[in-house]
Chain A
Amino acid sequence: MNCEYFKELISARLDGELTPEENTALSEHLGHCEKCGQFMTELEELKTVTAGVEQETMPSELERVILKTTARKPQESKSIFGIFRSCYRIPRGLVWAGVLALILLTANTIRVPFKTSAEAEVASESVEKAVLIQRITLSEEDVVMTNVVTEKSNNL
C-alpha cells in the first residue's frame, strides 16, 4: 500500500474513524515513513487552528424577525375550526375519543332523573306529599291565627 492510502488513514484517525486493524497498520507505517509522519503533524496543527474558530451565533435581530414571521395569527384562535386545528399535536384518535366521551357523558346526565318510569312515579309522589304537608302546615297556622283573632275580638 502506498503513502496516499496511509495519508487518508491519517485524516480519518484525526476524526477517530479508524478501525483497530487500520489503526495498527497506520502505526506500523508511521514507524518507518517520515513523509507521512510530517503530514500527520501538519494536519494536527491545522486541526488545532480549526478547533480555535468560534461558533457564530444568530444575530438577535434576525432571531426576532424569524419568530415574528412564524408567530401564530390571533384570528386563527377565533374560529372554532381553528381551535380544533390547534389540537394537531394531540393524536386524532385521542381527540375523537374525547368528543365521544363528552357526548356519552352529556346523554347520561340528561337521562339520570328518568332512568325508569317507576323512579319517575316515586319522584312524582314525593313532590305531591311535600305539597300536601305544606298545605296541612299552612292550614294549622290558619287555625292558630283564626283563634288568636277570635280571642282578641272576644276581649274587645
Chain B
Amino acid sequence: MTDSGHFRTETFETLFDKYKDRMYDFALKMVGDADTAGDITQEVFIRLYKSNSNHTAISNVKNWLFILTRNLCLNRIRDSRRQVSLDAVPETEIQVDCSADSRHIILQKAMYALAPDLREALILKEYQGFSYIEIGGILGITVPAVRSLLYRARVALKEIYEKYSIKG
C-alpha cells in the first residue's frame, strides 16, 4: 500500500481519517477563511464518498483530493475577487501583531497577499511537503515549471513579508 492510497482497497472512513486534517489545512491556507475552508473540505469528502457509491475508480486518492480541493479553492478565490477587488481592501485591515508569534502572523498575511498560483505552490511545498514531481502532478505542470514557480513565489513572499515587517 502506497501513501497515495486506492479507493478500492481503503474504506471511506480510513481515507477520511487519513486526509481530513491535511485537506482542511490546505483549504484554510489557500482561502484564509475557516468557514469557507470547512465548506470546501466538506464538499471534497462528500464527492469522495459519492465516487465510492458510484463505483468510480480513483487510482491516486491523495492526488485526487488535492486537485479537487485546489480547484474548489481557486473557484472560491475567483468568486470572492469578483465581489471585492483586492485594491479596494484598505491598508488598515492588515493588522500586524508584534507579539512572539508576530512573524507567523505576518507570514500568513503575506501568503494571502500572494497570487493564488504562487500561494498554492508554496503551500504544497512548505506545509504539505510534496516533492516537485508531486506538485507537478497536482498543478498539471512540469518539474522545471514547478521549480520556477516556487522561486518566483519565494521572491514575492520575501518582498511582501519584509514590507509587512517594516510596517509592524
Contacts and interface: CB of A to CB of B under 8 A. Distances in A.
B55 interface: yes
Place the interface of chain A in its size category: 20 to 34
B96 interface: no
B107 A66 contact: no
B151 A8 contact: yes
Given A7-B151, A11-B150, A11-B154, A62 B126 contact: no
B24 A12 contact: no
A87 to B, nearest CB: 12
A101 B77 CA distance: 57
B161 A11 contact: no
B28 A56 contact: yes
A88 B51 CA distance: 13
- In this complex, the member of B23, B46, B107, B154 whose beta carbon has the largest number of chain A beta carbons within 10 angstroms is B154
Contact of B104 (A52, A59, A62): A52
Given A46-B158, A62-B24, A70-B49, A8 B126 contact: no
A43 B154 CA distance: 7
A50 B41 CA distance: 23
Given A11-B154, A58-B20, A58-B21, A65 B107 contact: no
A70 B151 contact: no
A55 B151 contact: no
B8 interface: yes
Contact of A15 (B22, B25, B132, B148): B132
Interface in B125-144: 125-127, 131-132
A8 B148 contact: yes
Interface string B115-128: 00000001001110
Interface string A48-72: 0111110111110011011101100
Interface of B: 8, 11-13, 16, 20-25, 28-29, 34, 38, 41-42, 45-46, 49, 55, 103-104, 107-108, 122, 125-127, 131-132, 147-148, 150-151, 154-155, 157-158, 161
- Ranked nearest first, the 8 interchain pairs of A and B with the lowest CB-CB distance are A58-B24, A11-B151, A70-B49, A8-B151, A56-B25, A50-B126, A58-B20, A57-B21
Given A56-B21, A62-B38, 10 more contacts: A8-B147, A11-B147, A12-B147, A46-B161, A49-B103, A51-B126, A53-B108, A55-B22, A59-B24, A69-B49
28 contacts: A7-B151, A8-B147, A8-B148, A11-B150, A11-B154, A12-B132, A17-B132, A43-B158, A47-B126, A49-B103, A49-B104, A50-B126, A52-B104, A53-B107, A53-B108, A56-B21, A57-B24, A58-B24, A62-B42, A63-B20, A66-B41, A66-B46, A69-B42, A69-B46, A70-B16, A70-B46, A70-B49, A89-B8
